[in-house]
Chains A and B, each alone.
Chain A
């Protein structure tokens, strides 16, 4: 049984509002009380969930590079001069493979992962020129969000290489496009008055697709990616409803 005083302490602990001495005492109590530990964990999750309510604002794109440069400098400084360069571990030996791995949704994740491992060999050749660290840094990964309820379970992840003007879109759990319709990808660049055509996205019966694309026109700056439903075969200018969008 957890009393109100313990609940107060758990709340303050979750909010980081306890002083150092009280933290030590409370953590000793936590170690001996699984129920209190569970409550504290839940309150901590609840407090952190408040972060989601902040008005959405994206960090400037150059900040990513700045942070990557900092951690690379740290990694280099802490490594013996003769050691091998840092390599990606786990299943994500390629940026494409890693990013594509984000097309996850529940069980599809593990399926996707296995599929990605199979694809790794061919991707290795395909993306040989992207293996350098600079290539990794310049990759942009976008996660698209559903605009309508019918797509709430769909996931769409796009990896975009601005230098080579090409990308890969990975889709999962997309409903089949109705007869006479196709999904079509659009790249929204403020430079152009209309979205740039990224091509149609053939989705299989299993709702999964992996499509490499090159936009119709040179893209200088991607503001957003969007997927709309268009007449079969695609159209040069977006007309249909946008079902997913994101950056």
Chain B
């Protein structure tokens, strides 16, 4: 999904209006962005988040009195710099932004190439500026050149263009959204109203086939026959924030519910259940590393703990490091070590610093990230995408689940076989439905009625469930502001047990029925003896449910997949606890989504 913006009549404020517009369309994407300004015909474009473009804008201070802009986000396939919008013709006389698909571009491209035009991108969009330039060369005036070009396009598009020597924005809509904002002496264009709603609430909603000719004195709307049409201006009442939440109260809840889809996307096409193999094409040439060091922060660090644990089980020495510590106190590296940075945004400054340190010491680096072409993805030797889709809530939910699946894919790809992966593949393929079954029937909300208002909340687990315990506690504290701590279950008696009272519920994550599960049952009794109520998060394989005071059940699955499920129950508890306390769940105090400072 992409977003486009345009603005004319705002004089020197143009750049700020375009950048703010793009910012509010970030929900439509943010893996590359660009603007084109007139009358200078200056084009700035940058892959990565909008901040990257903002930085360029800040340092180069471009000026213009009208312009267009574009933002884009993708989970599949690497977008590269040359594919970022706006696109121009060979001489830079024409700049175009586009949202949608031009279906007959191959044909148009072939025709242009036959005429000697050189293309600089792989996009369908690029045919548009070339066609306009060709029409200009044939003697058309700019407006005719634009119309003649749009007449030739098939498919769905919202397009905006500026043409050298004409102080005008030309736009057309066919199948993709485009709206006009009517200001005092200025006109705005955008894929969606939030892009200019802070400047005007007077909006023209275009129909398919409509074209807009906007100048600093006003705008005209034409139909496909180039005849002016009279379209009403509507006044919208619009709360920009409601966009994109799909009726959920919070992005966090929406993203919790998006996990089945996110997990499906993460795993799709990356395994062959018939052959029992997992393939990450991005990294299939990496040899088996002698050791793996994970670097990450926050929730991603918990995913790293899980990743390191499963690699160790497979016989590969692996450790998870907090990125902020790693760069300053780097652990020794041996030849053949792979350093894996886990970062949702791919822009986390601490993680980038750790990865850079590792790279400077000559080892292979890999980014496990959600953001195509992010800094981490570009700077590392390899990148693996978790394909979770945009995550807007500050508290990471679906990206953690997808990171855990990503760790499994990574481990199975890195470590040489042969192994029969069919049970693992089956369990990962079942994750979407297993998560959905928790979403359909979780008792977490009822537990809040019972245990909300406690002095503190503790979370314990062993093995890979240590990561779940720590993540459960982090989620709880960051959105509910209640005191919460997570511990490896065996560590309780070495200190934290002093904190345990009848008013501190303990969440025990117990999956499977092995030595770890049995020992955790011992820890449950340990805290119950101090009067603490215990909530078992369990698959029912052990008798944790019988011992505990309350139970949050998860479906039975393989050991590797169970932590994903247990964590979903804890996400729901934290969410409902914070909601009951009236916390600003999507924007907890003092926190930011992507921490780009060290």
**Mutual binders A and B:** no
Chain B residues proximal to chain A, CB less than 8 Å: none
Chain A residues proximal to chain B, CB less than 8 Å: none
